[in-house]
Amino acid sequence: METTFANFVKLMDERQKVSDARFDRIETMLAEMRATIASLRTTIIVTGISSVLAATFGIAALNASMQFNMLEALKGGKEMAATQAEVNRLVTETAVLLKQIQDEKKASKPPPSD
């Protein structure tokens, strides 16, 4: 009976060692899974923040580009207005000079003789 009991105890000890080894492997796997999940969580957070920053900077760049283009168009319009005023001034001066030339031509023309 003692031998049977000793064999039973030995068998139970072996089973306990196998169970302990199995639990150690499971704990190791759980630790690895926790590390992987933490790494994945970090990756997701970094990706989310990067996406938000990229969208924000993209929109800011688009706004800056549009503002620059609008200011350049306004500047071009002002320059065009100045050029148009100069052209109008030159046209007026030319008209005055043409009128003077026509008046001088009429004055210098001898009257027709009959």
Residue 69: what pLDDT?
Answer: 92
Residue 108: what pLDDT?
Answer: 79
* d(C-alpha 2, C-alpha 111), whole Å: 162
Flag whether 9 is in a domain.
Answer: yes
Residue 79: what pLDDT?
Answer: 86
* d(C-alpha 60, C-alpha 54), whole Å: 10
pLDDT band at residue 113, thresholds of 50, 70 and 90? low
**Residue span of the structural domain in which 11 resides:** 1-75
Q: What is the mean pLDDT of residues 14-38?
A: 93
Q: How many distinct structural domains can be found in the chain?
A: 1
* d(C-alpha 26, C-alpha 32), whole Å: 10
Q: What is the mean pLDDT of residues 8-19?
A: 92
Flag whether 82 is in a domain.
Answer: no
Q: What is the mean pLDDT of residues 62-81?
A: 90
Which tens digits make up the pLDDT trace of 89-99?
A: 999 999 999 99
Flag whether 66 is in a domain.
Answer: yes
* d(C-alpha 6, C-alpha 14), whole Å: 12
Which tens digits make up the pLDDT trace of 31-56?
A: 999 988 988 999 999 999 999 999 99
Flag whether 53 is in a domain.
Answer: yes
Flag whether 23 is in a domain.
Answer: yes
